[in-house]
Structure 1
Amino acid sequence: MAKIAFILLCHKDPDAVIKQAQRLTAAGDCMAIHFDANAPRAEFESIRAALSDNPNVTFARRLRCGWGEWSLVQATLNAVRAAADAFPRATHFYMLSGDCMAIKSAQYAHTFLDRRDADYIESFDYFKSDWIKTGWKDERLIYRHWFNERTQKKRFYAMFNLQKRLGLTRDIPADIEVMIGSQWWCLRRRTVEWILDFCKQRPDVLRFFRTTWIPDETFFQTLVRHLVPEQEIESRTLTFLLFTDYGMPAVFHNDHYDLLLSQDYLFARKISPDARDLKRRLGLLYAAEGVRFEISNEGRSLFTFLTAKGRIGRRFAPRFWETESSLGRDRELLILVCKKWNVARRLVQRTREVTDVPCIEYLFNEASCELPDLGGIQSTVEKRHRHRRALMRMLYEYYDSNRLLICLDPANLDLIEDFCRDRSVSRVLEVECQYTDDDLVGHALRVGLAGESTPKPAIERLLPTIRNDMVLESDQLRDAELEHHLRIRQVDSPELNARALGAFLSVSEDKARELATADHLFAD
Structure 2
Amino acid sequence: MSLGVVMLCHTALGRAEQVARHWAQAGCPVVIHVDKNVRREAYRAFVQALSDIPHIQFSRRFRCEWGTWGIVAASQAASEQLLREFSDVRHVYLASGSCLPLRPVEELVDYLAARPRVDFIESATTADVPWTVGGLDAERFTLRFPFSWRKHRYLFDKFVSIQRRLGYARRIPNDLVPHMGSQWWCLTRQTLSAILQDPDRPRYDAYFKRVWIPDESYYQTLARLYSTQIESRSLTLSKFDFQGKPHIFYDDHLQLLRRSDCFVARKIWPHAEGLYRAFLTDPDGAMKSTEPNPGKIDRIFAKAVERRTRGRPGLYMHSRFPNEDWENGVTAGEYSLFQGFTELFEDFEPWLAKATGARVHGHLYGPDRAEFADQQSVMNGALCDTAMLRDANPRAFLTNLIWNTRGERQCFQYGPADNQDIVWDVAKDPNAQIAVISGAWAVPLFKSNSDFAELRQQAAHLQRIEAKALDAYRSPYAKARVRIWTMAEFIESPMEPLQSIIDEITVRPTRRLAEVPRMIDLAGFGQFLQNLKNQGMHPYLMGDFPVDPLPHQGRTPQPRKPYLVK
For the superposition of Structure 1 and Structure 2, which TM-score range results when normalised by the shorter chain? 0.5 to 0.7
Within 1, Cα distance between the matches of 2:200 and 2:6? 23
| Structure 1 contact 106–288 (Cα < 8 Å) conserved | no
Does 1:302 pair with 2:308? no
- Post-superposition CA distance 1:290-341 (Å, at most 9, x none): 8635777521112212332353789999xxxxxxxxxxxxxxxxxxxxxxxx
Q: Which residue does 2:111 correspond to in 1?
A: 112
| Structure 2 contact 16–97 (Cα < 8 Å) conserved | yes
The alignment's C-alpha RMSD in Å is 3.5
Within 1, Cα distance between the matches of 2:41 and 2:480? 70
Task: Return 273-282 or 176-185, whichever deviates more.
Answer: 273-282
The change in CA–CA distance for 1:250 and 1:81 in structure 2 (over 3 A counts) is: same
Structure 2: where are the runs of 5+ without partners? 314-324, 329-429, 434-477, 482-501, 511-566
Give SS of 2:187's match: strand
- Post-superposition CA distance 1:91-113 (Å, at most 9, x none): 11111111110111112212222
Q: What TM-score do you get using the length of structure 1 for normalisation?
A: 0.57
| Structure 2 contact 145–210 (Cα < 8 Å) conserved | yes
Within 1, Cα distance between the matches of 2:244 and 2:147? 22
Does 1:17 pair with 2:13? no
Map residues 496-511 of structure 1 onto 2, 5 A cutoff.
none
Map residues 290-369 of structure 1 onto 2, 5 A cutoff.
292-293=288-289, 297=294, 298-309=296-307, 310-311=309-310
- Post-superposition CA distance 1:5-58 (Å, at most 9, x none): 111111122322221211111010111100001110111111111222312111
Q: Which residue does 1:191 correspond to in 2?
A: 191
Aligned residue identity for 1:301: R
How many residues were matched structurally? Answer: 333
Within 2, Cα distance between the matches of 1:264 and 1:13? 25
Map residues 135-146 of structure 1 onto 2, 5 A cutoff.
135-146=135-146
- Post-superposition CA distance 1:108-128 (Å, at most 9, x none): 212222232311111011223
Within 1, Cα distance between the matches of 2:79 and 2:284? 27
Give SS of 2:8's match: strand
Q: Which residue does 1:121 correspond to in 2?
A: 121
Q: Which residue does 1:453 correspond to in 2?
A: none
Q: Which residue does 1:179 correspond to in 2?
A: 179
- Post-superposition CA distance 1:55-85 (Å, at most 9, x none): 2111111011110001111111011111111
- Post-superposition CA distance 1:433-476 (Å, at most 9, x none): xxxxxxxxxxxxxxxxxxxxxxxxxxxxxxxxxxxxxxxxxxxx
Match of 2:238 among 235, 238, 241: 241
Determine which structure has more spread, i.e. the larger CA radius of gyration: 2
The change in CA–CA distance for 1:152 and 1:296 in structure 2 (over 3 A counts) is: closer
| Structure 1 contact 9–35 (Cα < 8 Å) conserved | yes
Deviation at 1:162, TM superposition (A): 4.4
Give SS of 2:260's match: coil
| Structure 2 contact 140–211 (Cα < 8 Å) conserved | yes
Aligned residue identity for 1:300: D
- Post-superposition CA distance 1:225-278 (Å, at most 9, x none): 12213xx11111111121112222111111222221221321011111221121
Does 1:72 pair with 2:68? no
Map residues 425-436 of structure 1 onto 2, 5 A cutoff.
none
Within 1, Cα distance between the matches of 2:93 and 2:293? 24
| Structure 2 contact 133–242 (Cα < 8 Å) conserved | no
Map residues 138-287 of structure 1 onto 2, 5 A cutoff.
138-198=138-198, 200-229=199-228, 232-285=229-282
| Structure 2 contact 133–243 (Cα < 8 Å) conserved | no
Q: Which residue does 2:36 correspond to in 1?
A: 37
Within 2, Cα distance between the matches of 1:192 and 1:284? 32
Map residues 461-476 of structure 1 onto 2, 5 A cutoff.
none
Aligned residue identity for 1:181: G
Within 2, Cα distance between the matches of 1:72 and 1:167? 29
Deviation at 1:203, TM superposition (A): 2.1
Within 1, Cα distance between the matches of 2:172 and 2:152? 25
Within 1, Cα distance between the matches of 2:122 and 2:503? 47
Give SS of 1:151's match: coil
Give SS of 2:62's match: coil
Give SS of 1:125's match: coil
Q: Which residue does 1:385 correspond to in 2?
A: none
Identity percentage of aligned residues: 32
Within 2, Cα distance between the matches of 1:293 and 1:67? 35
Q: Which residue does 1:442 correspond to in 2?
A: none
Aligned residue identity for 1:144: R
Give the ranges of 4+ consecutive aligned residues of structure 1 lying more than 4 Å apart after TM superposition.
287-291, 293-297, 312-317, 420-423, 481-487
Does 1:102 pair with 2:101? yes
The change in CA–CA distance for 1:277 and 1:163 in structure 2 (over 3 A counts) is: same
Within 2, Cα distance between the matches of 1:422 and 1:41? 64
Deviation at 1:483, TM superposition (A): 4.6
Aligned residue identity for 2:306: A
- Post-superposition CA distance 1:341-386 (Å, at most 9, x none): xxxxxxxxxxxxxxxxxxxxxxxxxxxxxxxxxxxxxxxxxxxxxx
Within 2, Cα distance between the matches of 1:306 and 1:290? 27
Aligned residue identity for 1:111: D
Q: Which residue does 1:451 correspond to in 2?
A: none
Aligned residue identity for 1:281: A
Give SS of 1:124's match: coil
Structure 1: where are the runs of 5+ without partners? 318-413, 424-480, 488-498, 501-524
Within 2, Cα distance between the matches of 1:53 and 1:61? 20
The change in CA–CA distance for 1:296 and 1:119 in structure 2 (over 3 A counts) is: closer
Give SS of 1:33's match: strand
The change in CA–CA distance for 1:290 and 1:68 in structure 2 (over 3 A counts) is: closer
| Structure 1 contact 103–282 (Cα < 8 Å) conserved | yes
| Structure 1 contact 144–211 (Cα < 8 Å) conserved | yes
| Structure 1 contact 177–226 (Cα < 8 Å) conserved | no
Give SS of 2:136's match: coil
| Structure 1 contact 70–209 (Cα < 8 Å) conserved | yes
Deviation at 1:165, TM superposition (A): 4.3
Aligned residue identity for 1:292: K
The change in CA–CA distance for 1:133 and 1:17 in structure 2 (over 3 A counts) is: closer
Within 1, Cα distance between the matches of 2:239 and 2:191? 27
Within 1, Cα distance between the matches of 2:25 and 2:219? 28
Aligned residue identity for 2:220: Q
Within 1, Cα distance between the matches of 2:70 and 2:203? 17
Q: Which residue does 2:86 correspond to in 1?
A: 87
- Post-superposition CA distance 1:144-167 (Å, at most 9, x none): 223322124455345434444443
Map residues 403-418 of structure 1 onto 2, 5 A cutoff.
none
